[in-house]
Chains A and B, each alone.
Chain A
Amino acid sequence: MDESKRQLLSGNEALARGAWEAGVRAAFGYPGTPSTEILESLVTYPGVYCEWSPNEKVALEAAAGAAIAGARSLVTMKLVGLNVAADPLMTLSYIGVVGGMVVVVADDPGMNSSQTEQDTRHYARLSKLPVLEPGDAVDCRAFMLEAFALSERHRCPVIVRTTTCVSHSRFQVPCGERQAPVDAHFERNPQQFCPLPIWGRRLREKVEERLQAQSAENSASGLNRVFRRGDALGIVSHGVTALHCAEAFPEASVLKLGWGWPYPDGLLRAFAGSVRRLVVIEEGDPMVEEHLRALGFACEGKETGLVPRTGELRPERLRAIRAALEGVPGAVPGPVAEASDLPGRPPLLCAGCPHRGVFYALTKFDVIVTGDIGCYSLGVFPPLSRTDTILCMGGGFTLAHGMVQAGERRPVVGVLGDSTFFHSGMTGLLNMVYNRGRAVLVVVDNRTTAMTGHQDHPGTGRTLMGEATQEASIERIAEACGVRRIRVVNPYELQATVEVFREALSADEMTLVISRAPCILKERVRLGASPCVDAGRCKVCGACLKLGCPALELSRRGEPPRVNGSLCNGCGLCAQVCRFSALTCPGTGEA
C-alpha cells in the first residue's frame, strides 16, 4: 500500500471510506452517537446518494430496497436504533439482497451516551445474519470492503458492529481506489422477495444452510487474527478489546475475532486446543464464552467472575483481570487525593439554550413531565429538575398518554424535540387525539437534531446532500391528526411561555405547545448583549441561579453572581427572572 495514501481517520470516517471504495451507491441512517459521523463523512465523497431518514426503520427499509434492486447500500445507526429497525431486518434475512448491503450498528459499552448497553451480536444471532467486529479504523475500512463482498456472496445483509472506542479512535488508514458503483435495476422474483408461507418456508431452510456455510468460511477468514505468543495462556476476544488485550497480556496468545457470528467453530477449537489456560474477554455479553463451553472447552470469563459483566473493558480493567489471573497486585492508580472534593461538571443545557425557557416555565407548575431522548434530556438535572421519565424516542408523548388514560390525576406534560417528533413522536400524537387523551404535549423545536451535532431532518428544509427541500410543518401535521389547540411560543419570553402552559393545563382537551427557537450552538449568533450585574441591587436571592445557566458563575456564597461573557449569549432569561433589576442587558434598559 502506498504510504502517501494513509490518512488519519476515525473509525467512523474509515467505515465511510471503506463503503465508498466498495462502490456503495446509496446510504441511509438516523443520527445517533457514536454512529453519526459515518454518513457525515460519506456524503463528502462523490457519487454516493446519502440521506438522513426520519428513523432507523425507514432507513433500513430504504437500504433494503436499494440492495434488493441490485445496488450496494449502507445503513447506519446506534445500538438502540436497531431496536426500531429490527422488524425489517428479520425478514430481510430470509428474502435476502442482490447488491451488497451493510448494516452498521454502533454499540456503546459503558453507556457514554446511550440509555442501554445492549450487545448487537444478539441481533446477529436473532436475525441469523453475519456480524463483523472491526477493532480499529484500519479494520473499519478493510472490513467494510469485505462486508460488501460477503453480503453479495451469501445474498444477505451483513451487520458491522463498532463500539464507541472503535468509532471515535483515529488510526492511520491505508486507502485505495473506488470500485465502480452499480445502479439499482430490479429483477422480479416473487418467490424470493415475497415471503408468503408457501415460499417463506423454503427461504427459512436456506437461512440454516447459509449459516453452516458461513461458519465454515469464518474459520478460514482473514477477518480473524491470532497474536501467537505462547501456549500457557490463550485469550479469545474481539474488536478493540482484543487490541487492548494484545498490549495488556504481552505473553499470552490472543485470538482476535473479527467475524463474530456465526461462530468460527473450527478456529475456536484449534485455538482453544493450543493453549493450556483459556480466558474469554468480551465487551458485551458472554456469548463466545458460553459457546466455547458448549463446544466442551473449560474457560474463564464473565461466568466465572473473572471479567466484569458490565461496562467498557478499558485497559485499566484488563490490567485488573491480569492481576487476578496471575494473583499479583495490578491496581492502576486511582484519582489523586487532591481530586477527592472537586466540583462535578455534569453535561448541561448550553448558555442561551432555548430549551431552558421551557423547563424553567414548567418549574412553576406541579406537573409530571415525561421527557425523551435529545439535548432536552438534560432538563432532568438540577436546578431545573423538570423531567421525570425518559424511555425511548417518542416515549415523551406516549408515556404521558398512558399515565393519563390509566387515571393519573396530576397534569402530565410530554416533551420531545423536533427531530424526535418526526422520528416517532408523530404516531404518539395521533394516538392521543384518536383515543381522546388529555396531556399537554410539547415539541421543543430547535430546528435541528442538536445532541448529535446538528443534523437536518424533515422539518429543516434541507437534506443531507445539501439540497433545499419541502419543510415539514409540525403544526400542519398536528392539525391533520385533529389537534384543535396548538400554541407556538418563543421560549425566550418567559412570562408568555408560563401563560401558555397555565392555559394549556387548565383546558379540558389536549394542547400541543410548540416552543420554537433555533439551537444556539448551531446558529452561533449572539441573541443580545450580556447582562451587567448591579452588585448594589443584587439581594443574593439566587433566583437567577435556578436557571442552571453555565454563564452565571457564583464563586463564593453570599456574593452576587458574575456573568461569564465568553459563555453568555445574551438570551436575557436571567434578567427576566431577577425581581430586583440587578441584571440588566445594555441597550434594553430593564430587559
Chain B
Amino acid sequence: MLCGVGGQGILFAAKVIAASAEAAGLQVTTNELHGMAQRGGSVTAQVRFGEELFSPLFAPGEADALFGMEPVEALRWAHYLRPGGQAVVSLARLIPVTVSMGQATYPADVEERLRRVFGGLRLVDGAEVASSLGDARLVNTVLLGALSAHLPLAASCWEAAFRRIVRPQLLEANLRAFASGRGD
C-alpha cells in the first residue's frame, strides 16, 4: 500500500516495486489513482505480486507493507496494513490547505501516533537524507530501500528495477539512496 500527496513520487515507487517483482519472475499488478487526485490531493497506489493474481486490488487489513510519503497520509491509510505488517514512513510534513485556512489542525503528535499505530515501523527523516545524500528528493528511494528489507525480493531484483526505470545520470544517486535505506 503506497500513499502520499500528489507530486511526491508515489507512482514512481509503485513502478520500481513492480519492476523488481517482474525481475523476480513473479506475476505483478499495480493500481493507481489519476485525475482529480493529482492536484495536491491524497494519492494512493496498490502493488500486488505473487504466483497467481486475478484482482489488482486488496482490501483494508491485507497489505503486507505500507509505504507512506507523508505522516498524516500514512495514518489515513494505516488500516490497509495487516496485523504484523511493516510500515516505512517519511517524516516530512506537507501542510494541507485545510490547516492553513484554520479549518483543521495538523496533529502535533503525529510521530507518536505513527509509533502507536504501527508495530513494525521505520521512519525516514528527509533532512537527514538531504545532508547525507545531498538531495532531499531521494527520500522516496531511501524509503524503497527500507521497504525492500521487508519484501521477499532479492537485492539484485531491485537493482535491475532501478536500472530499467531511472535515467542513467540519476542511477548512481538512486542506488546509493536505496542502499542507505536498506541498511547495506
Contacts and interface: CB of A to CB of B under 8 A. Distances in A.
A548 B101 CA distance: 8
Contact of B79 (A336, A342, A382): A336
Contacts of A550: 40, 96-97, 100
Contacts of B32: 168-169
B174 to A, nearest CB: 19
A451 interface: yes
Nearest to B61: A333
Contacts of B116: 338
A7 B128 CA distance: 37
A555 interface: yes
Contacts of B58: 315
Contacts of B78: 335-336, 338-339
Interface string A368-395: 0000000100100011000000000000
Interface in B1-38: 5-6, 18-19, 22, 27-38
Contacts, number: 174
Interface residues of A, number: 57
A332 B60 contact: yes
Contacts of A172: 22, 27-28
A339 B106 contact: no
A112 to B, nearest CB: 6
B59 interface: yes
Contacts of A33: 34-36
A315 B59 CA distance: 5
A168 B96 contact: no
A508 to B, nearest CB: 38
Interface string A125-162: 00000000000100000000000000000000000000
B98 A345 contact: yes
Contacts of B132: none
B42 interface: yes
A342 B76 contact: yes
A214 to B, nearest CB: 27
A297 interface: no
B155 interface: no
Given A347-B39, A383-B101, A112 B33 contact: yes
Contacts of B61: 332-333
A338 B113 CA distance: 6
B31 A8 contact: no
A103 interface: no
A343 B104 contact: yes
B11 to A, nearest CB: 10
A344 B34 contact: no
Nearest to A136: B56
A244 B55 contact: yes
Nearest to B114: A338
B130 to A, nearest CB: 12
Contact of B40 (A247, A347, A552, A557): A347
Interface string A1-27: 000000010000000000000000000
A577 interface: no
Contacts of A113: 34-37
Nearest to A377: B36
A431 B57 CA distance: 47
Nearest to B116: A338
A70 interface: no
B91 interface: no
B157 interface: no
Contacts of A453: 34
Contact of B39 (A169, A244, A319, A348): A348
B39 A554 contact: no
Given A315-B57, A315-B58, A375 B99 contact: no
A346 B101 contact: no
B60 to A, nearest CB: 4
A347 B41 contact: yes
Given A169-B31, A172-B27, A554 B102 contact: yes
A319 B62 CA distance: 12
A315 B40 CA distance: 26
B72 interface: yes
B56 A342 contact: no
A316 interface: yes
Nearest to B136: A566
Nearest to A554: B100
A561 B100 CA distance: 8
Interface string A451-478: 1110000000000000000000000000
A348 B107 contact: no
Contacts of B62: 315, 332
Interface of B: 5-6, 18-19, 22, 27-42, 54-62, 72-73, 75-76, 78-79, 94-107, 113, 116-117
24 contacts: A136-B54, A136-B56, A165-B57, A168-B32, A169-B32, A170-B31, A171-B29, A243-B56, A334-B60, A339-B76, A343-B99, A344-B98, A345-B73, A345-B96, A345-B98, A346-B41, A346-B97, A347-B36, A347-B39, A382-B101, A542-B102, A545-B101, A548-B101, A555-B106
